Amino acid sequence: MEDFKSRLYQRCMDFVLQRIDTAETALKQAQEASNDDTKSSAGDKFETTREMMQQDIARNKNLLFDGQQNLQLLSSLENTPSAGDTVRNGSLVNTSKGMFYISISAGQLNVEDRQVFAISAASPIGNLLIGKKAGESFSFNQNEYTIQDIL
């Protein structure tokens, strides 16, 4: 199971690195477009375009910052001990309704023909899982989950 968890960790890392790369590329393109734009005689149209470019740059900066934070969080999980008696960041939790990897919000990942939901500890379901032990149950979206294993 350690091998499975390390592949899952790598999938999350690939997800984050791809997001960072996409955000950096989009930010660079938006900045280049902003620099290339010159003022025309249609003043209001220029100002509107300029403002839209600034919003695009700000959005991409936020995406980049979010990606860098996720990378930092994942890096901190790399050397955490694997199993434990309670759910915490870095735990792989097997429940009666599926597996959850408490790490970053990457959504559903398929690893070795298994579906795992990579979720943040700050997410609604992550909040419910943190601190729970094997055998404990919780309710989410009118579904009852029982924790079978914590890896």
- Report d(CA 2, CA 47) in Å as an integer: 55
Question: Of residues 47 and 137, which shows the higher confidence score?
Answer: 137
Residue 64: CB atoms within 10 A of its CB come to 18
The first and second tokens of residue 104, run together, are: 């970053």
Where residue 12 falls among pLDDT bands split at 50, 70, 90?
very high
- Report d(CA 72, CA 102) in Å as an integer: 14
- Report d(CA 68, CA 11) in Å as an integer: 16
- pTM equals 0.83
Residues 13-57: tens digit of each pLDDT: 999 999 999 999 999 988 887 777 655 545 555 567 778 888 889
- Taking the chain, what is the end-to-end CA distance rounded to the nearest angstrom? 8
